[in-house]
Amino acid sequence: MIAGSFGDQVKDTMGIENLISILTTSGLELAGALQAHLNEYDITMKEHFCVEKIEKGKIKTIHFSSGEKISSKTIIVATGAKWRDLGVPGEKENIGKGIAYCPHFDEPFYKGKDVVVIDDGNSGIEAAYDLAILLNRWWCLNSCQN
C-alpha cells in the first residue's frame, strides 16, 4: 500500500458519531485504529511516497520520486479526495471553529445554527439537503461555476 499520508482527509474530522459499532471518535483516532488493523496483516505500507510514473506491461513497474521502483501484476488506484480551500481571510485559522469540510460527520456541531454550504457540485446539494433536514431549515443556495 502506497500513500502520501495514511488517513489523510479523515484526520481533519473532529467528531464522528455515525459509524457502525462506534459511539463517538475523532478522525485522528479512527485513522489510527485503521492503521493498527492494517498492521495485523502481511501488508507493506509505504507512506509519504509519490508515484512519478507507471510502466505498462504484463508486470507493471511503479517509479517513486525517491528513485525506488517496485513491480506488480496488479495496481489498484484509489486517489482519495482533497478539500479545496476558498482562499478567504480567516479560513485556515477557523477550521474546526465554525468552518468544516465534512457536513455529514460534523452535523451535531451545526444544530441550532445558521449554516452555509459552499460547493460546486452534487455533493454540495446532497450536504445542504441533509443539513436542512437535520436543522429543520428548508432553504439553501447553490452557486455553480463551470
pLDDT in tens, 46-64: 888 888 899 999 999 999 8
The pLDDT of 106-115, averaged and rounded, is 74
pLDDT in tens, 118-144: 877 777 777 777 777 776 654 444 444
Spatial separation of the C-alpha atoms in residues 8 and 74, rounded to whole Å: 24
What are the start-end ranges of the H helices in 1-146? 27-38, 107-110, 122-135
Closest CA to 79 of 117, 40, 51, 118: 51
pLDDT score at 109: 73
Structural fold of domain 2-72 = FAD/NAD(P)-binding domain (3.50.50)
Query: Which residues have C-beta within 8 Å of that of residue 57, sequence separation ≥ 6?
Result: none
More confident residue, 101 or 136: 101
pTM for the model: 0.53
pLDDT score at 104: 66
Q: Where in the chain is the domain with CATH 3.50.50.60?
A: 2-72
